[in-house]
Structure formats: structure tokens, C-alpha cells
Chains A and B, each alone.
Chain A
Amino acid sequence: MNTNLKISNVTKIYPGCVANDNVSLEFNSGKIYALLGENGAGKSTLVKILSGVIIPDEGKIYLNENNLKLNSPSDAKKNDIGMVFQHFNLFETLSVFENLIIDSDEQRESLREKIDTIMKKYNFSIDLDIPVLNLSAGQKQKVEIIRCLIRSPKVLIMDEPTSVLTEQETSELFLSLKKFSEEGILIIYITHKLKEVMQLCDEVAVMRRGKLVSVSEIKNENIESLANKMVGQNLKIIKKKKAKTSSDQLIKITNLNFTSEDPFETNLMDINFSVNRGECLGIAGISGNGQSELFQVLSGEIISEKNSIEFNNNYIGDLSPQERRGYLMAFSPEDRLEQAAIPQMKIFENVALNNFKSSNFFNNGLINENKIKEHSKKIISDFNVNTDNIELKSQFLSGGNLQKLIIGRELITSPDLLICFNPTWGLDVGAINYIHETLIRINEQNKSIILISTDTDELLKLSDKISVIHKGKLSKIMNAEEVTSEKLGILMGGAN
């Protein structure tokens, strides 16, 4: 039976922003729909309205001509709308089976049979009786999907499902989604990744600033056209020129180990690599495989053996971040709001967090506020931070502007090496482009970068050499031209 889902004139207004502005869309089963947009474009709001989490201010939703009243997530379930969120809603310590039966009133035995049938049908192989915490991200997602399938939904909504998956897991997911679609389930796929839209979907709806910009068939689109619709301007596609091969070694890591007392951290085992001047070394991996620990060891937040890190012919493994800055290293951590900056402090105060000797922010223990402010103004203008008020608390900067401020703060004293960790995480395409340009530019100035990132496309675009971190171990270092995202995916999954 055909399913028809209609969104009619939906509007949702938050104080200071229109999240959904009179959006109307129609979906029919048998096709896979992409809902495409940048962060803050309003796609999550729309999806939350469909799943009953948010109630719209205006507008109606029809499923097969029936007007749905979706006042809570359970209303959505009752109306056969299934939803898999970006962040999993699973109880880690309960078994897979317990997680699946938790919101169902069916008999355990019949449910188990039902689950077995579903798993066989779609070639899922998950042990139902092990605790969820032993599962990989891809398996956890399958559990979430099974939880939806149990209710034989008419509509299945997937919210940014691939952000935690490897390349292989992603293609498995796509196969399953195509199968569901063939069986008549209407699939709505939310993403900001253009490549996936091209691979998977039949039709694409693009949203920008709360408005529906276009609905079109995939065969009439390509990556550039979609990107332009999404951003609303013509983006120039930046490409990195191949670095001049330099043999001038800047940093060398030798036999570096880190054993954590915290069971939630990853131990680093026998890390060895080196980076030459003007080079960008990319470190790929699925998040939680030791990237955070590696960043901290490199930045000096975690002290290691003196000889394990050689920078510019000095052994610096036992130095603090502040002392390492003295040797012209700079660091941009992953967490903008909790580590790299303090949202409650003013912009110029955040600039003073990174106290290079040459910047003279503090003389004889006293704050040199004029110097800091002067410096801050320079960063704001040099790095396109969209404000002219350095007294502004940095919580009022958008993610992109805050990241520009952080990168600017790190780069303005022109360090020899920048170590950055997921520098474009959660940013909109415009800001990502700007950050990428900046990183390419400093490579051209013969400065080096260590780029730890979970975004494979970013790594392939910016790196000269790439290595993959898996469970605290680094793969061999490869030249970026020889690497494909498929190959990275295999390494990220732990195979050789």
C-alpha cells in the first residue's frame, strides 16, 4: 500500500529565529527523500515536528489524507512514524534484547521471534543477549532501526545517521535503507553531506534559514548545484596545491605511549611519526579511538617522556602547553565551548588564554589589557570574525565565528606548527570553507599542521600524508594521493 505524507504550511517560531517558515512538502513511499541543509537550516526542527517532539505553531501534517495530531513522541509511534536520532537512545548496560522490549507490551517470546525474522530478512547479525555497550556504533544504530521496524512503520526518518559510522558501515546502512524503501517504507534522510544524497536518494528537499528552498530530483542535480542551493551563494571549490616536498623535519614522535587511569580513556600505544615543514599530516579515525588523548599528549596537557617528542631539535615531551608555545607550537582543541574558549568571558579575554611570550599579554604578573585588546582587534579583522566589539561575550559568536577567533588567536603569532582537532566540527559550509582556506594558506607559508579529524573528506582535502588511529594505535603513514576514502574506512574499522 502506498504511503503519502504531507506537511502543509508548517511554521515554528522561536524567540529571535524562525525555525520553520511556512514549509510544505509531500512524500510518497517507494522513494528515498533527502532533507538537506546546513546546521540551523531548520531540518531538525521539521523532523522533530514529524516525530512529535516539537509542536508546530501553525500548519498540519497528513498521513494518507488523515490529519495527524502529534503532541508527543508516542503519538508519532502510534501513527507508524519511526525515527532514528543522531544520538542513540539506548541503555548501555542493558542487553540488546532488553533495549528492544523496553517500550513494547508484546510478549517476550513472540517479540523475540519477530526480531529474529527481521534480522534474518535484512542480514543483520547482532547478538541479542550482550550488553549494548559492547556494540560498535554501526551495530547500535541497527538496534535503533530494529526498534523502529518492530512496529512495522510506514515512515522511517533517519537524522544524520552516518556521522558515527565508518565507510563500510555506511554502505551497509544504505543497502538496508534501499531495501526498506523497496518494501514500501517511506524514507526521509536528513543530512548535510552532499555525497550521501547523491549516492542514496531519489529526491532532495533543500532548506535554508527555516525556508524550503527547492525540491528536485537527484538526477537533475550534482554536488555543486546542491551545495550552492544549501549555502545560497556560489561557493568556490578550493583545492590544495601539492606541497613542495621538503625534507626539513619539524616534529618527530618516537615510541610514545600513554596509559590512562581513567577506564573511559583510550591508551596510546607506540606512536611514531614525523612531520616536515610545510606539511599537513592528517590523522583519521572514528571518534573515541584515542584522538583526544593524542591531542593532549601533543599539546602538553598530558606530559610524556622528554625524548618522545622532538620539536625543532629540542626534546619537549615533558613540557607544559605554555612552555611548548614558547617553541612556537599552537593548539586548537576540539571542544570550542568547554576548552578552547570560555563562552562567559569577553572576546579579548579569550584571546589572552593563549599567552605566547612574544605577545606580552602579561608583564610582571600584571594584565596588559591594552596589548590584549590591540591584539584582539587585529585577529578580528585578519580572520574575518563577524563582530567589531571585542568586549562582547564570546557566547554570542556563532560557532563559525568562534572557531575563526580561536584559529586566529593560535595563528596570529605565526607558529611553526598548528595542531588542530576537528576544527570544522558542527560549522556551516561557509565557515568550513574559510577554515580550510586558512589551513591551506599556512601550509603554503611553510608552516606545518597536524590535523586530527573524524571527517574523512576534510582529511583528504587538506592532508599531504594520512594515518589512521584505531584503538590507540596509529596505522602506517600514507601519502594522501594514494589514499581513498574506502581505504581509510577499512583502516578506521580496525582491519589492516
Chain B
Amino acid sequence: MIKIVKRDQPSRAIFFFTPVLAIFLTLVAGGLIFFILGFKPFEALKFFFIVPIADKYGFSELLLKATPLCLIAIGLSFCFKSNNWNIGAEGQLTFGAIVSGGVALLFYEQEGFYILPIVILAGAIGGMLYASIPAILKTYFNTNEILVSLMLVYVSKLILDYLVVGPWSNPEGFNFPETRQFSDSAKLPLLFEGLRIHAGIFLALAAVVISWFVFYKTYLGFQMKVSGFSLKTAKYAGYKGKKMIILVFLISGACAGLAGVGEITGPIGQLHREISPDYGFTAIIVAFLGRLHPVGIIFASLVVAITYLGAETAQIFMQIPKYTGQVFQGMILFFLLASDYLLFFKIKFIGSKK
């Protein structure tokens, strides 16, 4: 007989084990889905998870996709740790890309070492501005940040749409919905000849280190932790709740904005309609899969990045839609939430009762 027993305390080992379990279950369920679709499960999973990163180019692509995911997830963990539910990183990414893209276009056909830092800074500021909207509405008008930040995603996408179709569209571009290519001075340098991996990865790594320091060594990190457990306690302790809400949203927006900069000044090199395959939403999964811990987020972003690559390979070699990638992302989150049950309960196998 199986019996479910409440744990006396959430197990620390289980805390780090459940993400692994979730990934394993995702693989099993994914194999099952492939089987139902008429593919050989192991072969399909190989195409999905191994083939895409089997060579140098593939590995560079993996890092390329993991960079924005990691960066955004780090930013989001500032919000999530302190009980602020910023769901709109995709919008902050888009708006950051718009602002930095605009600045990059100002420097069209100009050269100079100073251009790239300005472009990057502009992206961070763009993301912060956009994230400040739900933060200010939440602190001063008690609105729900989940709704506001989510809806603003669509607003930013429409703004981008308007700009690339209208005022910012390439004059020599035959009315394609895209801007001019940025000048080389406004682009992030590539790390290796022939590979697309670019210097943006250092931004992500810096974010990891800084966030670790803030979370575990500073008063701000302590305040975030307390607020995450109990807002009543934070109030009693006398933390400046409003200031903190705005601060974590700004940090989160800056990270998302930087991720946007990385995309448009890295592999894309211009603004067009589809600058992000929903990195901002997927990063929510990454943040939780990584347990809101900076190191965990590195691993989680690599795992989730594979689903993007795998979906592309699977589309090419097996003619299945690339949206399978999203199915896998969904499954990871689903199984993670489900296996979190084990944090608080354990399963006991006991002999049948007399």
C-alpha cells in the first residue's frame, strides 16, 4: 500500500532533486508523445536533445539561446524572491530592444568605441522604464502587477510593429517590416570566427555573480527574502516596501532590456517583428526550474535552451512543428510544479494493514 505522509520539514535534498526529476519526467512524457505520433521515442529524443548540441556550432547556439534566458531569469528572481510577480519580462525585453535599437539607428553608419556602451545602456534604461509602469501602478494604485505587466507585453509588441513598419522601416528595404542593419560599432563583438555566440554572455555571467552577492550578502537581499516569506513581517520590520517593489522591478526590467539588446545587437543586427521567441515568458520557467538560485538558473537556462534548438532540428529532420519546443517547456514547468509536492509530502510504501 502506498501512503502519503506530510514531511516535518521541506527536505533540502529534495529541493534540488525535484528539478532533475521534472526534467526526467519531461523526457519520459516527451518520448511517449513521440511514440504516439508514430516516431521511435529514443531516436526522436536524440534528435531533440543530443543532435543539436553535438558539434561546436550547436554548442555555440546553445549558449546563444541560454544567454537571454539566464539574464532575464536572474532579473526575474529578484522580483519573485520578494513576492512581486513580474510576468512581463517579454515586454521589457521588447521595449529595451526598441530603445537601444533606436539609439543604434541614430548612430547609423558611424564608427566609435563609445557607441556600443551607449546602445547597451539605452537598452537597460528602456527595460527599466517599461518595468517601472507595473511597479508604480502597484505601489501607488494597488493594481495587480501580474495583469499590468502581462498586458504591457502586447503593447510593446504593437509599438515595435508600428516602428518597423512605419517610421523606422528601412528606406531601401522594399517595405519589409524591418529597420536598417546596425553599424558594426553598435553590434556586440562575436567571440569566435564562424560562430554566433557573442559578448552578451559576459553580461549574463556578470548578472549571475552580482545577483548571488546581492541575494546572500546584502541587506537588500535579506529584505527581499523576508518580504518573500511574509509581507506582514516585512512591514513589522519596517522595510520600505514601496521602494523595494520599485527597485526589484527596475533590476528585473534592466536585465530583460539587456537581453533584448543582446538579441538585436548580436545575432539579429537590426529591429524586426520577431526579435524574441518568447524568451521573456520562457525565462519564468527557467527562474523556477533554477530554484531562483543564480547557479541553478545557469543550469536551467541551458536545459531550456536545448528545447529551442531541439524543436528546430526536429522540424528539419522529422517534419514536426517547432512548437514542440513549447510543449516541452510547458511539460518541464508542469512536472516541476507537480514534483514540488514531494517537498512537503513523502511517499511511503508500507505493507498491507492487518
A residues apposed to B, CB below 8 Å: 15-16, 299-301, 320-325, 331, 333, 335, 338-342, 344-345, 349, 352-355, 362, 365-367, 393, 395-396
> A355 to B220, alpha carbons, bound, how many Å?
13
Q: Which residue of B lies closest to A362 (CB)?
A: B219
A300 and B230 alpha carbons, distance in the complex (Å): 17
18 A-B pairs in the complex with CB atoms less than 8 angstroms apart: A16-B8, A321-B238, A322-B239, A331-B236, A338-B230, A338-B232, A338-B233, A339-B233, A340-B233, A342-B230, A345-B226, A355-B237, A365-B218, A365-B220, A367-B219, A367-B221, A367-B222, A395-B9
Q: Which chain B residues in 205-224 approach chain A with CB under 8 Å?
A: 217-222
In the assembled complex, B40 has its CB within 8 A of some CB on chain A: no
Chain B residue at smallest Cβ distance from A335: B232
Q: Complex: how many Å from CA A342 to CA B233?
A: 8
**Which chain B residue shows the least CB distance to A352?**
B222
B46 CB–A CB distance under 8 Å: no
Q: Are B238 and A345 in contact (CB under 8 A)?
A: no
A354-B236 Cα distance, complex, nearest whole Å: 9
CA of A395 to CA of B229 in the docked complex: distance in angstroms?
13
Contact A366 B226 (CB under 8 A): no
Q: Name the A residues within 8 Å of B230 (CB-CB).
A: 338-339, 342
The B183-231 residues at the A interface (CB cut-off 8 A) are 217-222, 225-226, 229-230
Given known A-B contacts A344-B229, A395-B9, A339 and B219 have beta carbons under 8 A apart: no
Q: Which residues of A contact B239 (CB under 8 A)?
A: 322
With A352-B222, A395-B9 in contact, is A323–B238 under 8 Å at CB? yes
B240 within 8 A of A: yes
Chain A residues contacting B218 (CB-CB under 8 Å) are 365-367
- Return chain A residues, CB-CB under 8 Å to B236: 299, 301, 321, 331, 333, 339-340, 353
The answer to whether B240 touches A341, judged by C-beta atoms less than 8 angstroms apart, is no
Contact yes or no, A322 B238, CB < 8 A: yes
Size bin of chain B's contact surface: 20 to 34
Please, which residues of chain A bring their CB within 8 A of the CB of B9?
A: 393, 395-396
> Residue among B5, B226, B237, B240 with the most chain A CB within 10 A?
B237
Complex CA–CA separation, A366 to B238 (angstroms): 17
Distance in angstroms between the alpha carbons of A401 and B221 in the assembled complex: 27
In the bound complex, CA of A333 to CA of B236 (Å): 8
Bound CA span A395–B230, Å: 14
A362 contact set on B, CB distance < 8 A: 219, 222
Which residue of chain A has the shortest Cβ distance to B225 in the bound complex? Answer: A345
Q: Is the CB of B219 within 8 A of A365?
A: yes
Shortest beta-carbon distance from A495 to chain B in Å: 34
Q: Is the CB of A353 within 8 A of B217?
A: no
Assuming A301-B238, A340-B233, A367-B219, what are 18 further A-B pairs, CB within 8 angstroms? A300-B238, A301-B236, A321-B235, A321-B237, A321-B238, A322-B238, A338-B230, A338-B232, A338-B233, A339-B233, A339-B236, A345-B225, A345-B226, A353-B226, A354-B237, A366-B217, A366-B218, A396-B9
Q: Could you say which residues of chain B place their CB within 8 Å of the CB of A324?
A: 238
How far, in angstroms, from A267 to B217 measured CA to CA in the complex?
A: 41
Q: How far is the CB of A323 from chain B (nearest CB, A)?
A: 7
User: With a CB–CB cut-off of 8 A, which chain B residues contact A339?
Assistant: 230, 232-233, 236
Q: Given A362-B219, A366-B217, A367-B218, are A322 and B225 also a contact pair (CB < 8 Å)? A: no
> How close is A207's CB to chain B, nearest CB, in angstroms?
24
Q: Which residues of B have CB within 8 Å of A353?
A: 226, 233, 236-237
Tell me, in angstroms, the Cα distance from A240 to B218 when the chains sit together. Answer: 44
CB-defined contacts of B232 to chain A, threshold 8 Å: 335, 338-339
B240 touches A320 (CB 8 A): yes
> In whole Å, how far is A302's beta carbon from the nearest beta carbon of chain B?
9
The answer to whether A342 touches B238, judged by C-beta atoms less than 8 angstroms apart, is no
The reply to whether A320 and B238 form a contact with Cβ atoms under 8 Å apart is yes
Tell me the minimal C-beta distance from B241 to chain A in angstroms.
10
* Complex CA–CA separation, A380 to B237 (angstroms): 20
Within the complex, the shortest CB–CB distance from A217 to chain B, in Å, comes to 41
Sorted nearest first, the 6 A-B pairs with minimum C-beta distance are A322-B238, A321-B238, A362-B219, A339-B232, A342-B229, A320-B238
A292–B217 alpha-carbon span in the complex (Å): 34
Of B5, B225, B238, the residue contacting A325 (CB under 8 A) is B238
Kindly report which residue of chain B lies nearest to residue A299, judged by CB atoms: B236
With a cutoff of 8 Å between Cβ atoms, the chain B residues found around residue A395 in the complex are 9
Q: Return B271 CB to nearest CB of chain A, in Å.
A: 38
Q: Mark B239-267, 1 if CB is under 8 A from A, else 0.
A: 11000000000000000000000000000
Residues of B within 8 A of A335 (CB): 232
Docked complex: B32-68 residues within 8 A CB-CB of A: none
A15 CB contacts on chain B under 8 angstroms: 5
CA distance A15 to B3 in the complex (A): 14
The one of A299, A323, A366 in contact with B219, judged by C-beta atoms closer than 8 angstroms, is A366
Q: How far is the CB of B42 from chain A (nearest CB, A)?
A: 42
Question: Given the complex of chains A and B, what is the CA–CA distance between A199 and B233 in angstroms?
Answer: 41
B residues less than 8 Å from A345 (CB atoms): 225-226, 229
Which residues of chain B are within 8 angstroms of A333 by Cβ–Cβ distance? 236
Expressed in whole angstroms, the minimum distance between the Cβ of B289 and any Cβ of chain A is 21
Q: Which residue of B lies closest to A355 (CB)?
A: B237
Name the A residues within 8 Å of B222 (CB-CB): 349, 352, 362, 367
A189 to B79, CA, bound (A): 51
Which residues of the partner chain A approach B235 to less than 8 Å between Cβ atoms? 301, 321
Instruction: Point out the residues of chain A lying under 8 angstroms from B229, CB to CB.
Output: 342, 344-345
B233 CB → nearest A CB, Å? 5
Residues of the A chain whose Cβ atoms lie less than 8 Å from the Cβ of B221: 367
Q: Which residues of chain B are within 8 angstroms of A325 by Cβ–Cβ distance?
A: 238
In the complex, residue of chain B having the shortest beta-carbon distance to the beta carbon of A337: B230
- A364 CB, min distance to chain B CBs, angstroms: 9
Closest chain-B Cβ to A55's Cβ sits at a distance in Å of 13
